[in-house]
């Protein structure tokens, strides 16, 4: 049965039947261990009281007396010494009382049929309507010895209240089952909705709202699933936009390279023009190389399953070397650079961390206008390394700050085209820092500047 609703129905019925079986076995065990002998002793005492009353009462009409007893809820079998027997009350379903048992009662012994009856369940014991399932005592009347066998008349003992209670139990069971079916349907409905939504996501259809308004665990699951769909939808749009942008970024330099390469094939081209075209081809080639390296780096980070290649190295020397790489750009833009770098030793992956400093420094240089300032700090605190880079560049909005680490995100297309950005650098920074169990934060204000802070724990 594949349906969850069907499984729930089968499980509910199974639980009800299992609980009924366990209850039956429990009651049966209790009857055989405690009640069976007690029930036998109680009925023997009643039979002995009847026999004593008969023996001390003169002029008693036996038939009338036994008929009266039968109407009060007992079945009686009276056997005379010659074997003649009379049943008072409803007849026994089976008359299986042995002649040996009758002879022993006539001889003055007590018959414990209720106690000694061989039965596996209390239904076939307590409710068994047979003459062997009785108690027997002797009594003397009119100079003759009789054997009196007695058991309760179960049908007469079941009064209206017993039927009412039995009916109440049946009604409760039926209502409980129906209620569980309704509850099961209510529980499963949102799961069906989530299943359909999952299929839509599998088909890359991320639109639509989940109409599930609950406050329980299923509601929390639906809310998380809706957030996932929204995020997937955003990522899908960003991915498509990124593919479009990257295609353009690849196509533009390739066209430039092809065009200027064709121009270089002109043998009459002046040497100065030839150098200028070659310089443009080199610049476009470096642009393609940077984009390709960033894409390859992201791929390697995604596929990183083995631990980082950690070793102890000087972070301050690595940061200084990164700054030296961009010395020409600092001079070209006439930027003021302030360095506060302590001697810091750290155990991490130097190759990946080098990409962190390189991306953050190049990012600050790109968005800081000519004549601006950049402040870089590197300190070692109690249990962590603290790196910050602050600029007084163009800054960014709050919305951009919240999404700046998203992969493929390019906030301002006019700005990114101007500086040839790919939208991958800060995503690389965030992922590398996270792999080192650190965190990177941003504080930025549009038109004022931006500060990136990296904190790496010292293990």
Q: Could you give the angle at the alpha carbon of 325 between the alpha carbons of 401 and 302, nearest 5°?
A: 50
Which stretches of the chain score pLDDT less than 50? 1, 305, 413-420
> Bridge-partner residues for 116, per DSSP?
none
Q: Hey, where are the domains in the chain? A: 4-158, 307-457
What beta strand segments (E) does 188-333 contain?
311-314
Can you say whether the dihedral through the CA atoms of 426, 432, 433, 435 is positive or negative? positive
* Backbone dihedral region for residue 60 (phi beyond 0: left; psi -120 to 50: alpha; all else: beta): beta
The Cα 393–Cα 367 span in angstroms is: 5
Taking the mean position of all CA atoms in its chain, how far away is CA 409?
33
| Distance from chain centroid for Cα 59 | 82
Residues with Cβ < 8 Å from 319, sequence gap 6 or more? 341, 357, 376, 378, 387
- Written as one string, the DSSP assignment of 178-217 is HHHHHHHHHHHHHHHHHHHHHHHHHTT----------SSH
Give the 3-state secondary structure percentages of the chain, helix then strand then coil, rounded to 5: 60, 15, 25
Confidence at residue 303, expressed as pLDDT on a 0 to 100 scale: 61
pLDDT digits (tens, 9 = 90+) for 133-191: 899 999 999 889 999 999 988 776 665 565 677 788 788 888 888 887 787 777 777 77
What pLDDT sits at residue 2?
Answer: 61
Asked if residues 138 and 147 have their Cβ atoms less than 8 Å apart, the reply is yes
- Give the CA-trace dihedral at 285, 290, 292, 296, to 10 degrees: 150
Provide φ and ψ at 6, rounded to 5°.
-65, -40
Three-state SS string across 75-134, please?
Answer: EEEEECCCCCEEEECCCCCECCCCHHHHHHHHCCCCEEHHHHCCCCCHHHHHCCCECCCC
**Whole-number pLDDT of residue 1:** 46
Angle between helices 350-367 and 425-435 (to 10 degrees): 140
Pairwise CA distance, residues 429 & 46, whole Å: 94
The whole-number pLDDT of residue 78 equals: 94
How many residues are recorded in the chain? 459
The DSSP annotation for 344-362 comes to: -EEEE-HHHHHHHHHHHHH
Is there a contact between 278 and 307 (Cβ–Cβ < 8 Å)?
no
Rounded Cα distance, 389 and 40, in Å: 95
**Distant-in-sequence, close-in-space partners of 439: CB < 8 Å, separation ≥ 6:** 433, 454, 455
Q: What is the pLDDT of residue 389?
A: 95
pTM comes to 0.45
Are the C-beta atoms of residues 265 and 277 closer than 8 Å to each other? no
Query: Rounded CA gap, 309 and 447, in Å?
Result: 40
Do 319 and 356 form a contact (C-beta atoms < 8 A)?
Answer: no
Q: Exposure pattern of 281-311 as b/e (b: 16+ CB <10 Å)? A: beebeebeebbeebeebbeebeeeeeebeee
Angstrom distance (rounded) from CA 424 to CA 407: 6
**Which CATH number is 307-457 given?**
3.30.565.10
């Amino acid at each position: 049965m594949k349906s969850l609703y069907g499984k729930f129905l089968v499980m509910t019925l199974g639980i009800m039947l299992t609980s009924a079986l366990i209850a039956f076995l429990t009651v049966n065990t209790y009857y055989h261990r405690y009640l069976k002998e007690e029930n036998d002793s109680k009925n023997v005492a009643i039979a002995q009281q009847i026999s004593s009353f008969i023996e001390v009462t003169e002029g008693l009409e036996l038939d009338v007396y036994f008929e009266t007893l039968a109407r009060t809820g007992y079945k009686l079998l009276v056997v005379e010494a010659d074997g003649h027997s009379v049943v008072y009350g409803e007849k026994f379903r089976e008359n299986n009382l042995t002649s040996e048992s009758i002879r022993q009662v006539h001889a003055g012994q007590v018959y414990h049929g209720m106690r000694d009856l061989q039965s596996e369940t209390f239904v076939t014991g307590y409710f068994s309507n047979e003459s062997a399932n009785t108690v027997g005592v002797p009594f003397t009347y009119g100079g003759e010895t009789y054997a009196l066998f007695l058991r309760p008349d179960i049908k007469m003992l079941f009064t209206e209240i017993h039927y009412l209670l039995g009916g109440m139990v049946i009604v409760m069971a039926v209502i409980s089952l129906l209620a569980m079916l309704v509850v099961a349907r209510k529980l499963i409905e949102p799961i069906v909705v989530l299943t359909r939504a999952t299929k839509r996501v599998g088909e890359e259809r991320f639109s639509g709202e989940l109409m599930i308004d609950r406050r329980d665990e299923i509601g929390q699951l639906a809310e998380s699933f809706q957030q996932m769909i929204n995020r997937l939808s955003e990522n899908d749009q960003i991915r498509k936009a990124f593919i479009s942008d990257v295609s353009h970024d690849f196509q533009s330099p390739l066209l430039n390279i092809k065009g200027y390469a064709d121009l270089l094939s002109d043998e009459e081209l002046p040497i100065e023009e030839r150098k200028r075209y070659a310089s443009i081809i080199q610049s476009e080639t470096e642009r393609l190389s940077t984009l390709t390296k960033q894409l390859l780096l992201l791929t390697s980070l995604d596929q990183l399953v083995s631990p980082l290649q950690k070793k102890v190295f000087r972070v301050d020397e690595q940061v200084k070397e990164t700054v030296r790489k961009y010395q020409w750009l600092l001079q070209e833009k006439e930027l003021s650079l302030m360095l506060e770098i302590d001697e810091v030793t750290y155990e991490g992956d130097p190759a990946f961390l080098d990409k962190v400093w390189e991306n953050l420094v190049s990012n600050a240089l790109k968005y800081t206008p000519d004549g601006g300032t950049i402040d870089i700090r590197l300190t070692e605190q109690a249990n962590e390394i603290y790196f910050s880079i602050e600029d007084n560049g163009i800054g960014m909005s709050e919305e951009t700050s919240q999404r700046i680490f998203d992969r493929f995100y390019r906030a301002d297309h006019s700005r990114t085209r101007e500086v040839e950005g790919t939208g991958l650098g800060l995503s690389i920074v965030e992922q590398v820092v996270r792999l080192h169990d650190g965190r990177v934060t941003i504080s930025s204000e549009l038109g004022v500047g931006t500060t990136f802070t990296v904190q790496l724990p010292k293990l």
